[in-house]
Structure 1
Amino acid sequence: MNAQVDSRPYQEATARLPLIRSFLEARYRRTFFAHHALTHHLYRGVYPTFDEAQASIPLANTSGYDNTESADLYRDRTHRVFINDYPMIYWLGRWFAEGARNVFDLGGHIGIAYYAYQKLIVYPQGLRWTVMDVPAVNEAGEQWAKEHDPLRRLHFAEDIGNAAGADVLFAAGSLQYLRYSLAEALTSMEPKPRFLLLNSVPVHMRESYFTVQNIGTACCPYRVTAEREFLSGLSKLGYELQDRWENPQRSCIVPFHPELSLDRYFGFAFRSIQS
């Protein structure tokens, strides 16, 4: 397991002592961008756009998941189910019972959920599960599938446009890494997916912003969306909220910005009112 750097001392710094805060911020920046193996899942900075968050990452640092080291992550999760997976499993099974057969897994890495969930759900005949991820991850997923997906139900894509016409758009912990929002991606998509099944979404009660996450192998721009913006964006596209749950095991602590930090993430199930 990766060693963890305790960010709480940085979180507790205040603006009452500007020189001390400036010193702490500079020290935290050096720690954040150095020795990836020691800085797993830390956050730094607040930015209004994806591009500004991206520009804050030094060129010497690996950025994003499109690299071999990031593609090799999470193999253990292909056979593990966590407590926050159970709402996803419930809704997926329910929609399979309603006839859903085409799942588009946005940012699903090598097919983590596809492999892990099949021991708890009887997958229907004719299931097609398509993962969209970056090229390095897709390549790793295709190689893994040759040995672990004998029924050849798992496929890979690089374009969100391939989600058009899917029964279920599935996203577990991936929306935050996209340059575009989910609502933006769905706006021009026809036909739109019938169902949206979303997990581990970082939602702030008031503010939308980007930060930078260090995942241990790379640094990534990271989207946090205001609750009203997130829900209204999907409602305007004709999606009705069916369920919502909290995941208090996930947090996003942005040092020096306690008012923007999150102590939990959220999951959502939506149904198109046209389905």
Structure 2
Amino acid sequence: MSASATWKQSLRLTARKASAHWPGIAQLRRRLYEARFRAGKYHCGYSGRFAGFEAAERALPTGLAGFDHDAMADIGHYTTMAGGIEPMPATEYPVLFWLRAALDERARTLLDLGGYVGHAFRQYDRYLAFPDAFRWTVFDLPHITRAGAALAAGQPTPRLRFTNSVDDGCGMDILLAAGSLQYLPENHLHERLKAWPKRPRHLIIQRTPLHMRHSFVTIQSVITRTGEVSFCPYSVPARASFIDGLLALGYELVDSWEKLRSLDVPFHPECHVETYSGLYFRLGS
């Protein structure tokens, strides 16, 4: 490429970058993105920053909302996989380690908060061989738990059950929240734990976005396997306040780890989350 062509290309690139900050151009780009987002063009797309969960709920685009409908309860993915179970990702091994430690302490009951159709039970059971007396209870929404129960009927076991009442976790030994807290209001976990007269001794948090400075809520779009689009509030707590709230309930932070997944909300650079978090807490004596 000649020096003249290089100079012209550099000039065009500089002009393009500069124009992105011009008020009219920036507003147009934002409007175009929002139109595509509302039309369901993005799987795991994000839009907007809201002060709270209810504000995001009021701003949801027209269409399916949340996860409590048939389109989000499709279990074809799990029934067509070899053995019905995906290979264990490397990022799940900290959970496996702390579950093993809890079992060694004679933990025998677990609430899987937002555990979908019970796939985590099958995945971990392959490695840990949960004893016959162990009870893994999945809490989720009615459409999801019905699908999970239908899937479980193919290989019935008394160790796996489903519930639509999160307060069934009161008195259990372990609470696992893997990729679910972001779909609940920011303080939902803390409030439930505070209300329970007997809290789980072991608390395992996995694949959760935590912001280093502030809390916010955005809206996520999810394209289902049937091609439908669902929109739901997506909650991101401030890391320090999230941890401090659990410490105040008597938990000790024993371990933390990261998953190499970032979160970006278009036109809101202040909402960037570099990695998703994993945390293990144990209730003090």
- For residues 46-85 of structure 1, the aligned pairs below 5 Å read 46-58=49-61, 60-72=62-74, 75=78, 76=81, 78-85=85-92
Give 2:23's aligned residue.
Answer: 18
| Paired amino acid for 1:98 | E
Q: Report the secondary structure of 2:63's partner residue.
A: coil
Q: What amino acid sits opposite 1:255 in the alignment?
A: P
* Runs of 4+, deviation exceeding 4 Å: 12-15
Q: CA deviation at 1:15?
A: 8.3
Match of 1:160 in 2: 166
Classify the secondary structure of the residue corresponding to 1:81: coil
Residues 132 and 159 in structure 2, CA contact (< 8 A), matched pair in contact too: no
Gaps of 5+ in 1: 1-11
Which residue pairs with 1:267 in the alignment?
278
TM-score of the pair, normalised by structure 1: 0.89
Judge conservation of contact 2:182–2:209 (CA < 8 Å) in 1: yes
Alignment partner, residue 188 of structure 1:
195
Q: For structure 1, which segment, 200-209 or 150-159, has the greater mean C-alpha deviation from structure 2 after superposition? A: 150-159
Stretch deviating more after TM superposition (78-87 or 129-138): 78-87
Residue 187 of structure 1: how far off its partner (Å):
1.1
- Give the 5 Å matches for 1:163-242: 163-179=169-185, 180-217=187-224, 218-242=230-254
Unaligned runs of 5+ in 2: 1-16, 225-229
1:146 aligns with 2:157: no
Amino acid at match of 1:268: L
Helix, strand or coil for the counterpart of 2:68? coil
Q: Is the contact made by 1:78 and 1:111 (CA closer than 8 Å) also made in structure 2?
A: no
CA contact (8 A) 1:200 1:267 kept: yes
Which amino acid counterpart does residue 232 of structure 2 have in structure 1?
Answer: C
Matched residues in 2 for 1:237 and 1:140: separation? 34
- Counterpart among 35, 38, 58 of residue 33 in structure 1: 38
Shift of 1:22: 1.6
Match of 1:5 in 2: none
The whole-number CA distance in structure 2 between the counterparts of 1:243 and 1:15 is 42
Shift of 1:181: 2.6
2:99 maps to what in 1? 92
- Tell me which amino acid in the other structure corresponds to 2:96: I
- Tell whether the 8 Å contact from 1:13 to 1:256 is kept in structure 2 after alignment: no
Q: Give distance in 2, aligned partners of 1:25 and 1:226.
A: 26
**Contact conserved, 1:13 with 1:21, CA < 8 A, in 2?**
no
Q: Which amino acid aligns with 2:161?
A: H
Q: How far 1:112 sits from its partner (Å)?
A: 1.5
1:125 is displaced (CA, Å) by 3.0
- SS of the residue corresponding to residue 80 of structure 1 reads coil
**Structure 2 CA distance for aligned equivalents of residues 254 and 127 of structure 1:** 41
Q: Letter of the aligned partner of 1:23 in structure 2?
A: L
Give the structure-2-normalised TM-score: 0.86
**What is the distance in 1 between the residues matched to 2:272 and 2:188?**
20
Distance 2:68 2:269 in 1: 31
Q: Distance in 1 between matches of 2:149 and 2:132?
A: 21
For residues 45 and 131 of structure 1, what CA distance do their matches in structure 2 show? 31
Residue 47 of structure 1: how far off its partner (Å): 0.3
- State the number of aligned residues: 258
Q: Percent identity?
A: 38
CA apart distance, 1:260: 1.2
